[in-house]
Every structure is written in structure tokens, then in C-alpha cells.
Amino acid sequence: MNCLYILISLYPYYLNNEIPRLPRVLGVARDKLKNMNTYDTIILGGGPAGVAAGIYAARKKVKTLLISEHLGGQSTVSAVIENWIGDIKLSGFDLLKKLENHLRAQEGIEIITAEKIMAVKKEGKNFSVATDKNNYQTKTVIVATGAKHRQLGVPGEDQFAGKGVAYCSTCDAPMFKNKDVVVVGTGNSGLEAVIDLLPYANKIYLMDVLEKIFGEETLAEKIKSEKVEMLLGTKIKSIEGSQFVEKIIYENIKSGEVKEIPAQGIFVEIGMTPNSDCVKDLVKLNKAKEIEIDHKNMATSVPGIFAAGDVTDVLFKQSSVASGEGVKAALAACGYLGNK
Ligand SMILES: Cc1cc2nc3c(=O)[nH]c(=O)nc-3n(C[C@H](O)[C@H](O)[C@H](O)COP(=O)(O)OP(=O)(O)OC[C@H]3O[C@@H](n4cnc5c(N)ncnc54)[C@H](O)[C@@H]3O)c2cc1C
């Protein structure tokens, strides 16, 4: 039936001797259709940077799509945030709700959650964004995919994630009441993890490959307790157990001696790693895999791709900073669209 319909549709072209021109006609139609589905800008990430970019782009009336696995960003898990400008104190969840409400109040912006961004590619003057479910076309891209906790990369880490291996002390410290716990990393986040654990844990081993504490003096003062034992100049070799973490195997870097600590938990606090994989083959990254940007206009090394927030080489990784950077990126992308 369908074939008959196609043949009848083609008949007038046949009569006019236009059959050889059909492929070109179809090609033009396909390109027109593609253009109709091309966004002016696609924002990757729905943390403070992405949401701020989304609000500004939508208000500039550019055809905008925001894609993020989740909305709210990293600090959604925080119990208390005290430096989000305009709020003396709020929880990470409240910040997520505020950001989401403001974003969804914008007319014309499309928001897609629960899709994982896989890769951005250049296609002629435009770009394609591939997720695990779809493919989208756009004239500009704003990368605001933020960062995630760096992993140790040792045997047992993935196996026991959520079963004793933890990355957020604010969220998980109460689960280690009367337990023996290892904290890896003596930077500020490691020291803060120890402070979070002090009211709960039975014993806290603080470990680092460095031989002295890396974080701020004021925080180091706060972890002075008989519950805390320093094991500096050490390296984790593996995390072992049956169903949950039972022991941590580590090596003394100087002597090479390998020992084990019976422990039911381990907090990995060794910094963050930027979520820049989706553009790693396209834009210039620094050694830390952060996207290098021109901080005046948030431009990356590829014209048409902008970036903002913790995924970039911005010095200060903070929510209020990220949102300001997102605003700058959206305005720069709109300027680029106008000038294109
Ligand atoms: C526990 C914790 C507490 C913090 N507390 C504070 C604080 O009190 N004050 C403060 O100013 N800052 C705080 N920070 C830092 C702050 O959260 C970050 O600086 C800020 O969230 C960065 O915003 P962003 O939009 O750049 O990235 P993110 O917040 O990381 O958001 C990135 C978004 O992109 C999405 N995403 C990433 N990759 C993909 C992908 N491949 N596909 C689809 N979606 C993707 C994620 O789902 C996420 O929503 C805290 C951070 C943590 C971890």
C-alpha cells in the first residue's frame, strides 16, 4: 500500500521529466527539516553553571535545550550551604529546588534529564550532541558538566562503593557510628571528612601519600583528637571484604612495607576530576583535564563551544562562581549567534 502511494506521488515528477532531480529535492527537504530541529544552543549540565546559562539563554529567546543526567549539581548532597549568595543558610536539596524552579519558569527552554551525554562532534558549521538515548543538533554548545570525586583506582573500590567505600562525609558520616574508618587525603575535604566523622566513628585513620597535612591549619587544629591516628607517607593498595569493607591494605612508601587495617569504611577525599570526557577529542584541555577557556568570554579552543563552572580551568570551584560563569557563557554564546 505504501509503495503504491509513493509511486502515485512520484508520477507528476515522472511526467515532468524531473525524476533525476529527485535526490537533490529530497536532500534540500532533509536539510530544511534538520535546520528546523537545530537548537541555537545546547547546554550540557544542570548544576549552578548550566542552570544559570539556561535562564539567561531562554530570556534572550534563543532556541535552547538543557541536558543533564540530574539537576542541581554536586552540592545537592550537602546538609548545609552557607555561602550561596542571597541565602544565609540552605540545604543542598533546597538549592536544587530553587535552581530547578527558576529554570522551569523560563518559557521556551527544553529540559531533558536522565540522559547521559556521551560525545559532542563538529558537523560543518554546527555541532551534534550524542546522549545514550538520542542525537541533537545545535549551532553552539555550553559545556557545564562540572566535576566528580576522584577515585583511588585500587582493587575493591568499585566493588564496595556504597558498601563501606564513600565519597561524601556530609552525607554518609552518621552511617559509621562506632566503626573504624579510614580517610584518604589530607587536603581540606579530607580534614572536613575527619571533622564530620569525629562525633560518630570509633577510630579514624587519616592517610595520605604526602608526609604532611596538605589542608588549612585551622582545619588541622580541629582534627586533634585521640580518635585520630595519622598514617602519612602511605599508599592504599586494595580494599577487601566479603559483603562490606572489612580491611584496607596499604604500603609505607619509604619502607615498602605492606600492612592492613581492620576497618568498616573508607572515605576517599583526594579531589575532584572534571567531567570533560564528552569534549575531550574536540576542545583543548589542561593537564588536569579541565577545559581551557578564555575567561573574558568563556570561549573554548573551538569557536561555538563555550564552557563554564567546575569543568573549566576556573580557579575557584564554588556554586556562586559557577552560576556567574554560566551567565557569562550564555551571553557570549548569544553574542556569537548574533555575529555568526
Ligand atoms: C559535597 C559538596 C559540598 C559542596 N558545598 C559547597 C558549598 O557549601 N558552597 C559552594 O559554593 N560550593 C560547594 N561545593 C562546590 C559546588 O557544588 C560546585 O562548585 C558547583 O556545584 C559547580 O557547579 P557546576 O554547575 O559547574 O557543576 P556541577 O554542580 O558538578 O553540575 C554538573 C551537572 O552536570 C551533569 N552531568 C555531568 N556529566 C554529565 C553527563 N555526561 N551527562 C549528563 N549530565 C552530566 C550532572 O548531573 C550535574 O548536574 C560543594 C561540592 C560538594 C561535592
Question: Rounded mean pLDDT of 161-176?
Answer: 90
Residue with cell 574508618: 181
For ligand 1, residues with CB inside 6 Å are 45-50, 68-70, 72-75, 77-78, 81, 83, 116-117, 144-147, 168, 170, 275, 278, 309-310, 317-320, 322
pLDDT in tens, 52-66: 999 999 999 999 999
Instruction: Give exposure, 107-127, as e/b (b: 16+ Cβ within 10 Å).
Output: eebebbeeeebeebeeeeebb
User: Cell numbers at residue 39, please?
Assistant: 537548537
- Rounded CA-CA distance 319/83 in Å is 8
Outline where DSSP puts E strands in 95-134. 110-113, 117-123, 126-131
- Rounded CA-CA distance 290/274 in Å is 6
Do 36-148+272-339 and 165-268 show the same overall fold? yes
The band of 80, judged by pLDDT with boundaries at 50, 70 and 90, is confident
Question: Rounded mean pLDDT of 68-88?
Answer: 89
Q: Name the residue of 55, 74, 189, 191 to mutate for ligand 1: max ligand atoms within 8 A of Cβ.
A: 74
Atom index in ligand 1 nearest the CA of residue 74 equals 29
User: Cell numbers at residue 203, please?
Assistant: 577510630
Residue 150: what residue type? R
Distance from the CA of 106 to the center of ligand 1, in angstroms? Answer: 22
pLDDT in tens, 4-23: 555 566 566 555 555 555 55
Which pLDDT value is given to residue 14? 55
Q: Are 308 and 322 contacting, i.e. CB atoms less than 8 angstroms apart?
A: yes
Distances (CA, A) of 11 to 2, 7, 20, 26, 231: 14, 6, 13, 16, 83
Question: Which residue has the CA at smallest separation from atom 17 of ligand 1?
Answer: 75
Report whether pLDDT(26) > 80. no
- Rounded CA-CA distance 33/119 in Å is 23
- Average pLDDT over the chain reads 91
Q: Are 77 and 92 contacting, i.e. CB atoms less than 8 angstroms apart?
A: yes
- Rounded CA-CA distance 81/150 in Å is 22
Atom index in ligand 1 nearest the CA of residue 118 equals 41
Domain 165-268: state its class.
alpha beta
For residues 31 and 258, the model is more confident at 258
pLDDT in tens, 239-286: 999 999 999 999 999 999 999 999 999 999 998 999 999 999 999 999
User: Cell numbers at residue 170, please?
Assistant: 556530609
Residue 325: what residue type? E
Pairing of strands 110-113, 64-71: parallel
- Rounded CA-CA distance 194/183 in Å is 7
User: Cell numbers at residue 313, please?
Assistant: 580551568
Question: Rounded mean pLDDT of 152-163?
Answer: 95
Question: Which residue has the CA at smallest separation from atom 35 of ligand 1?
Answer: 45
Distances (CA, A) of 223 to 63, 217, 246, 302, 321: 51, 10, 24, 46, 29
What is the distance between the terminal CA atoms of the chain, rounded to a whole angstrom?
A: 46
CATH 3.50.50.60 for the 36-148+272-339 domain, yes or no: yes
204 phi and psi, to 5 degrees?
-125, 120
Helix (H, G, I), strand (E, B) or coil at 299: strand
Report whether pLDDT(35) > 70. no
Question: Which residue has the CA at smallest separation from atom 48 of ligand 1?
Answer: 73
Which pLDDT value is given to residue 170? 80
Helix axes 48-59, 319-339, angle to 10 degrees: 40
Residue with cell 612495607: 257
User: Domain limits of the chain?
Assistant: 36-148+272-339, 165-268
Report whether pLDDT(161) > 60. yes
Distance from the CA of 254 to the center of ligand 1, in angstroms? Answer: 37
Which of 142, 106, 141 minimizes the C-alpha distance to 122? 141
